[in-house]
Structure 1
Amino acid sequence: IIARDIYGQDKIVRAIAYLTMGYSLGPIFTPPIGGFLVETSGWRSVLILALAAGIFIVVLVYFLIDETQPENNLNNNQNNCHRSLFSDYYLLFRDIKFTSLTFQIGLSTGAFFALATGAAFIMIEHLGRPASEYGLYFTLLPCGYLLGNFVSGRLGSQISIETMVLISTGIMVVAICSFAVFTLWGNISPLVLFGFGSVLTFGQGMNTPFAQSGLLRVPSNLIGTAGGIGAFAQMFGAAVFSQLYGFAADGTPSNLAIIVGAATFLAFVFATINFCKRPFKLPQPT
């Protein structure tokens, strides 16, 4: 929402892409840092570091980030404060493109997190590899996501949101189908798991900035609700599919391919709906 206020709808894809590149750096650098802290100072030191980092971020936000919403939008929101939350939901979900993007970003995020959850089981239980080797291979997943963010940032508004969401989800489908083929052949190795996994996260990294910016193509008085729905969809999808794999996990890659594949194919269905349908014209604030 802050990115849209500052950069506008035309540049929001590029802004979100570069912002999420920073988000993807965490899974690359924090595992070795956490491992070092656990070995030298015990597991509580990880929590202390997280607390200190959180306090530092709150202080930075308080002193450096001002209100970014234009004054006229603030006045409009105050004039429309009598609207109920459920009426905002009703207005937003009447738009088939908003609804399809909400499900698409939730399902694609679910596929990403189910893969990240299952990769540890496959490496350690099925392949019998040490945790240290898993940590090295795991960096391929956030690196793929980082590269996808970079590509989205370079493309910016040159390609429509609908087209890019469909293409990026298609890349995810190709990745999980390729992994499923190798699973059926019984030819599973760390390179197969994380190689195709990095292709899937590359597609997810391309998808996220475009899908998020698409969810914010709403009147200014609905941006906060739309942003909250998008964030909830991502976290809910991640939790549901990670938990599904937890229930189904048996140490083999078959269930991982099925669950990630189901989430990815459903995401592609909603991406197709978003590509084909015309938006419902939402009422503008008065």
Structure 2
Amino acid sequence: MRQPPVRRPSLLVLVMIASIGPLALQVLVPAMPGLASDFGTDFSITQMSLSVYLVGMVVGQLVYGPLSDRFGRRPVLMAGLVVYVGGTLFCLVAWDIVPLIIGRAFQALGGSAGIVLARAIIRDIHDREGSAQMLAYATAGMILAPMIGAIAGGYLYEWYGWQSVMLLVLVIGLLVTGVCIVGLSETNTRRTSRTSFRDIARDCARLLRKRRFLGYALQITFTTATFFTFLGGASAVAVVIYGRSPSEYALWFVLVSGSYMTGNFISGRISRRVGIDRMITIGTVISSAAALVMMILFVSGWFVLVHFFLLAGMMSLGNGFSMPNGFAGIVSVEPGRAGTASGLSGALQMSLGAIAMTVIGHTLAESPLPVIVIMLVLSLLALIAHLHGTRGEVP
């Protein structure tokens, strides 16, 4: 019996779905120093709202992907959105830092559904190269939304307090839920019958035994950890080590983020013609070369702050080439397990990213060398993982 034609969601809907998790992560960051005084606690305690959020995203991605392979993308996404909205409501009425942290955990668990399922939906409705093209455009939108959200969150906190930031997240969550109710149909026409924890673990193990999947997943994981290393250390390098203002750092950060968006847009234009594996190779070579030049400049004594951000921007451009194509590769290894593949790779991403951020926080002191070394090592590992994963295999 023929399957009925799938109604394709628009790119805007997919960007909205994928952005809610990263948006909620970033929107509260400008308020973090103030939250400590608002709740009468230490800054280290308020930082737990970020750590817990990252853990929630890891757990959520492991769960939602396999469930969506069995029950469909739409019902699992709607369940995630309900959790997201519920967690935001709990944050909004928090009377202490502990309830706020608990609410953030549920926000993350719900928001992670959007990240996993947007990728799986794109693979449901596009072929391998078409997925890379759509993921490139969607990723560019995903980067833009948290950037705007962080700016809006800073102003809202300054003008109206932290509750206004949570109110913004709630409104956006309700808006995305309404859009999905009206504009998102089911796209998974290849359901599995695997629902138990043992089945999910078996599917994950099956994917991890595939060299091609592992190559894509590790390339994405190492590349993401490179960005988290930059994110965790760049502000300290600019403001503490080189004595620049936070506003100057913000301008440099826009350059780096803009470079990543540019890479995604270019990738969206040429991925189908060039091919996803070649795009990943080009991107990882660019990133590794930029990190190597950064190291050479530092060792030679010619290193200045402008070199750090310009070369980080070049690395981000390369990452913009490689990341969406890596995601397309991940969900194309076994299209029938696209949700599981997306969730597993996403959990690996967030786990190593959080570790990298923690390591840089404990090693960065009076020199940018730890940031440079870690970014160089991770960039080279991403290149090696990709070359090994695709060596001698046919997609």
TM-score by length of 2: 0.65
- C-alpha displacement of 1:123: 0.7
Structure 1 residue 188: Cα displacement: 4.1
Cα 1:108–1:150 shift into 2, 3 Å: same
1:59 aligns with 2:178: yes
- Do structure 1's residue 165 and structure 2's residue 280 form an aligned pair? yes
Q: Secondary structure at the match of 2:188?
A: coil
Report 1:205-220 matches (<5 A): 205-220=320-335
Equivalent residue, structure 2, for 1:284 = none
Identity of aligned residues (%): 27
1:24 to 137, 143, 156: 143
Q: 1:249 Cα shift? A: 1.3
CA distance in 1, matches of 2:151, 2:203: 44
Deviation at 1:98, TM superposition (A): 0.8
SS at match of 1:68: coil
Moved more, 183-192 or 143-152: 183-192
> Is the Cα contact below 8 Å between 2:123 and 2:335 reproduced in 1?
no
Structure 1 CA distance for aligned equivalents of residues 145 and 207 of structure 2: 33
| Cα displacement string for residues 146-197 of structure 1 (whole angstroms, at most 9, x for unaligned residues) | 0110111011222232222121111110111122222224444442221111
Residue 268 (structure 2) pairs with residue 153 (structure 1): yes
Mean CA deviation greater in 28-37 or 230-239: 28-37
Residue 51 of structure 1 deviates from its aligned partner by 2.9
User: Residues 188 and 182 (structure 1 numbering): CA distance in 2 closer, same or farther, change over 3 Å?
Assistant: same
Show CA shifts across 1:12-57 (max 9, x none): 1111111111011135433432332233223443233223222322
Q: Deviations over 1:61-118 (max 9, x none)?
A: 2332111122xx13xx24x557711221232122111111111110110001111221
In structure 1, give the amino acid aligned to 2:140.
Answer: M
Cα distance in 1 for partners of 2:379, 2:334 equals: 30
| 2:165 equivalent to 1:46 | yes
Cα drift, residue 237 of structure 1? 2.4
Aligned-pair CA distance for 1:234: 1.8
Does the CA-based 8 Å contact 1:101-1:271 persist in structure 2?
A: yes
Q: In the aligned structure 2, how far is the partner of 1:189 from the partner of 1:30? A: 31
Which residue is equivalent to 2:131?
A: 12
CA contact (8 A) 1:144 1:199 kept: yes
SS in 1 for 2:127: helix
Distance 1:191 1:47, change over 3 A: farther
Closer, same or farther in 2 for the Cα pair 1:183/1:45, shift >3 Å? farther
Native 8 Å contact 1:15 1:153 kept in 2: yes
1:275 alignment partner in structure 2: 390
Q: Structure 1 residue 136: deviation in Å?
A: 1.4
Deviation at 1:256, TM superposition (A): 0.6
Tell whether 2:299 aligns with 1:180. no
Counterparts of 1:1-286 in structure 2, within 5 Å, are: 1-70=120-189, 73-74=190-191, 77-78=192-193, 84-278=199-393
SS in 2 for 1:252: coil
1:201 deviates by 0.8
**Runs of 5+ unmatched residues, structure 2:** 1-119
Bigger relative contact order (CA 8 A; separation at least 6):
1
AA of the residue aligned to 1:155: I
Deviation at 1:226, TM superposition (A): 0.9
- How far did 1:6 drift? 1.8
Aligned length: 275
Letter in 1 for 2:327: Q
In 2, Cα distance between equivalents of 1:34 and 1:40: 10
Distance 1:42 1:100, change over 3 A: same
Gaps of at least 5 residues in structure 1 are 282-286
Partner of 2:332: helix, strand, or coil?
coil
Q: Is the Cα–Cα contact under 8 Å of residues 179 and 196 in structure 1 kept in the other structure?
A: yes
Distance 1:58 1:187, change over 3 A: farther
Decide whether the 8 Å contact of 1:112 with 1:200 is kept in 2: no
Q: Which amino acid aligns with 2:136?
A: A
> What is the alpha-carbon distance in structure 2 between the residues aligned to residue 44 and residue 172 of structure 1?
40
Query: Quick one: structure 1 residues 250 and 278, their matched pair in 2 at CA, closer, same or farther if it must change by over 3 Å?
Result: same
